[in-house]
Amino acid sequence: MLNIILMLFVVILAAFFIIKVISKKQNAKVEEQIELDDKTYTLDRMRDFVKKRLNEITKVNLYDIGLSEEELKRRKNKKYELKKALKGCTYGDVNDKKYVKELIYDLLAKEYGVDEANISKAIPFDVPSLLTDQDKFDILIYHYKKNFGYEALTELIKKYNLDVLKYIAGETKPSYVITGEEISDIYEKEQLVLSFEDKLNVIVQRIYQHYKGYSSIDEVRDMNIDGVSGGVSGLPESFLSQVAQTDGDYLEQVMESKVPRACDSIWIFFRGKSIRLAFLSFGTESELKRVCQNIYKYNNPGQLSDTNGYKINEMKDGSRVVVVRPSFSETWAFFVRKFDVKRSTLEQWFKGEEGSDKSIELLKYLVKGARITSITGEQGCGKTTMLMGMIENIYETMNIRVQETAFELHLRRIYPTRNILTFRETETISGQEGLDVQKKTDGSVNIIGEVATDPVASWMIQAAQVASKFTLFTHHAKTFPNLVTALRNSMLRTGVFKNEKTAEEQVVQVLNFDIHLAKDFRGKRFVERITECVPVEDKNEYTFDHRNEKTLEGKIDKFFDNATHYFTKVTDRETYRYVNILEYIDGEYVLTNPISEYNLKEMRMNMEEADAEAFDKFVEENWGTKIQGSQESVMVNASAQQAETKRRGRKPKTQTI
């Protein structure tokens, strides 16, 4: 009996011990599950997992696994494709980006175990009040991108009029800015219903942009806008350290995000307007630095260093990128400029404004007539876009040679069957050398993306005289006299000429027309004027009348007449006059003064027969000018007078220099 009692006691004790161990394990499991739910499905943890898995995939030694020959070949191809995509996506290649994002999607869904129950641990999709401004913006862009592709941001801005001047708290003047409050209002109005796939795609994009992408601007950069920049406003880190020693209250405001830092600076360039995205931020200075160090790397342009504090390059999609860093600039900053080649037509540029039809015809005839034409204006006014639109009208029989600082025009994408070759400056090849090479490549038309240096300006004038049929180029001059003066000074500084008047004569003999673009404070772009340059002929006005004079006084008078002509030519001789043939007046394009007889004749000689006949009709309808064969009689009739009346009685802008 005692043995039975002892046995029962041992069994009960053992059972109690077993139950206690099982209970402890169950509690540990629950705690582990809580730990898993709270931390495993955060964006940081998932990003670390993705980095680790992609690193394993790209660095695994396939020969150690013991695969068959066919499987080994297949795995090697996939490994190579992934490594290529991981490299290409950092250069702005949207196809490589899509491939990497799809792989991340599969890793999270199939390996990491992200499902409908735990996905909101990363971003609280089901609780809108907990979403940040960036969360809401990412969701909105994803939703619009499904419907509009790369026009998503444009459609969002247009629908809610986000590109208008507005006042924001703490500022006394209006500015172009999109605030977090506006994004929250839009998100509330849209009432979006997201599926699990939609939520996971938003998370994949967020992980990608902090891993291989360009942080908060990653999706914005891909949109069809004019450009995006960062690090161009707010307080730099160097300034914060100075403030900390002098003004603690101000530093506290900065730390509380009441005063923006440099890493909070994200701007877009949209239809001629610079708009600040106040709701987006890089978060830290190191993240802004990472973006700056990666965004310019396409085609290995060299290292951005303290010694070489800037880089100008292009991205894989053709965008131009400029990156600067301390100590050259006060903070890290970048500027991405995009050029939408599909929209670069004259019709798209003018957008059907009053008188735009005649303006477009005039620009087409300037190109078909092989006139040397400059396109001038401030930065961001549309010079490159206008140039791309004009090139469409160059006859296909002409070979085109292009010189640029960075590849921007990308003409062969638009005209793949035409004879076009583009050169650019490099660290070892200057623009002057590039233009020298162009001279030996059977080009009919020289196009210079931007006359920005003295050697290029000097060579452009020389090439326009002898090396090509005609030249198109852009320049930053504000007025026509400024353009002539700038080109003349470039000729003098490069040592081609020593005399100012001689250099100026060469410029005005070459330059036929100037198209000046402008942009108002609301970002509207328009052609302010089209100006013709008319060289003033240097007539020999000296006489020998002194021989007919009988008296000494008469001979001296005649001598002084000739001396007066001489000193006039030497000191203040008129070399050219400029005439506006088109002006933008009160929202309307008006044809004003007629084109000179010389240019009419030259333009007609360079056109095909059908274009020449259409040009004759255009000239006669708008200026009343009769062109008879190779000779012309310029007769300004009632048509010109009506044009003058349209100009509201303003005096014609015809000036002599």
CA distances from 500 to 485, 541, 566, 655 (A): 10, 22, 17, 20
Are 385 and 280 in a shared domain? no
The answer to the question of residue 527 being in a domain is yes
Cα 16 to the center of its chain, rounded Å: 75
Percent of the residues in the chain that have a pLDDT greater than 70, as a whole number:
85
CA distances from 464 to 394, 458, 501 (A): 16, 10, 19
Are 172 and 310 in a shared domain? yes
Q: Is the pLDDT of residue 85 over 50?
A: yes
Are 469 and 482 in a shared domain? yes
pLDDT of 31? 42
Alpha-carbon radius of gyration of the chain: 34
pLDDT of 630? 41
Are 357 and 491 in a shared domain? yes
Q: Is the pLDDT of residue 590 over 50?
A: yes
Are 271 and 415 in a shared domain? no
Are 357 and 215 in a shared domain? no
The answer to the question of residue 281 being in a domain is yes
When pLDDT is averaged across residues 401-407 and rounded to a whole number, the result is 82
Q: What is the rounded distance in angstroms from the CA atom of residue 14 to the CA atom of residue 491?
A: 103
Q: Residue 194 belongs to what domain range?
A: 124-338
Going by pLDDT thresholds of 50, 70 and 90, the confidence category of residue 253 is low
The two tokens of residue 514 are 């100037």
pLDDT of 642? 47
Find, among 57, 146, 177, the residue nearest to 107 by Cα: 57
When pLDDT is averaged across residues 114-119 and rounded to a whole number, the result is 89
Q: What is the rounded distance in angstroms from the CA atom of residue 471 to the CA atom of residue 360?
A: 19
Instruction: Pick 637 or 152 by higher pLDDT.
Output: 152
Handedness of CA 427, 429, 431, 434 (dihedral sign): negative
Q: What is the rounded distance in angstroms from the CA atom of residue 534 to the CA atom of residue 95?
A: 52
End-to-end CA distance of the chain: 132
Q: What is the rounded distance in angstroms from the CA atom of residue 181 to the CA atom of residue 454?
A: 49
Q: What is the rounded distance in angstroms from the CA atom of residue 177 to the CA atom of residue 280?
A: 11
Instruction: Pick 521 or 479 by higher pLDDT.
Output: 479
Range with lowest mean pLDDT among 88-97, 238-247, 306-315, 346-355: 238-247
pLDDT of 633? 41
Are 149 and 277 in a shared domain? yes
Mean pLDDT score across all residues of the chain: 83
pLDDT of 33? 42
Contacts of 608 (CB under 8 A, 6+ apart): 368, 395
The answer to the question of residue 524 being in a domain is yes
Give the pLDDT confidence of 592-645 residue by residue, as tens digits: 999 998 899 999 999 999 999 999 999 998 887 665 554 344 343 444 444 444
pLDDT of 104? 94
Are 475 and 544 in a shared domain? no
CB burial string 227-258: b at 16+ within 10 A, e below = bbbbbbbbbbbeebeebeeeeeeebeebeeee
Q: Is the pLDDT of residue 57 over 90?
A: no
Find, among 480, 468, 475, the residue nearest to 606 by Cα: 468
The answer to the question of residue 128 being in a domain is yes
Cα 356 to the center of its chain, rounded Å: 25
Q: Is the pLDDT of residue 21 over 90?
A: no
The two tokens of residue 364 are 């087409």
When pLDDT is averaged across residues 156-174 and rounded to a whole number, the result is 86
When pLDDT is averaged across residues 361-371 and rounded to a whole number, the result is 93
Ramachandran quadrant class, 584 (left: phi over 0; alpha: psi -120 to 50; beta: rest): beta
pLDDT of 416? 86
Q: Is the pLDDT of residue 529 over 50?
A: yes
Instruction: Pick 95 or 630 by higher pLDDT.
Output: 95
When pLDDT is averaged across residues 508-520 and rounded to a whole number, the result is 91
Supply the DSSP symbol for 109.
I
* β-pair type (420-424, 266-270): unpaired
Full DSSP string of 396-445: TTS-EEEEESS----HHHH-TTS-EEEEE--SSS-HHHHHHHHTTTT-SE
When pLDDT is averaged across residues 563-587 and rounded to a whole number, the result is 81
Going by pLDDT thresholds of 50, 70 and 90, the confidence category of residue 570 is low
The answer to the question of residue 607 being in a domain is no
Are 264 and 320 in a shared domain? yes
Domain count, the chain: 4
Instruction: Pick 563 or 106 by higher pLDDT.
Output: 106
Are 400 and 417 in a shared domain? yes
Are 203 and 280 in a shared domain? yes
The answer to the question of residue 649 being in a domain is no
Strand runs (DSSP E) across 278-371, as ranges?
310-314, 320-324, 333-337
Instruction: Pick 425 or 255 by higher pLDDT.
Output: 425
Are 450 and 527 in a shared domain? yes
Tally helices (H) and strands (E) across the chain: 24, 19
Considering 292-296, 302-306, 649-653, the range whose residues carry the highest mean pLDDT is 292-296
CB burial string 73-87: b at 16+ within 10 A, e below = eeeeeeeeebeebbe
CATH code of the domain in which 422 resides: 3.40.50.300
The answer to the question of residue 327 being in a domain is yes
The answer to the question of residue 645 being in a domain is no
Q: What is the rounded distance in angstroms from the CA atom of residue 637 to the CA atom of residue 531?
A: 21
pLDDT of 75? 82
The two tokens of residue 140 are 């909105």
- The predicted model scores a pTM of 0.73
Q: Is the pLDDT of residue 209 over 60?
A: yes
When pLDDT is averaged across residues 268-290 and rounded to a whole number, the result is 91
pLDDT of 26? 57
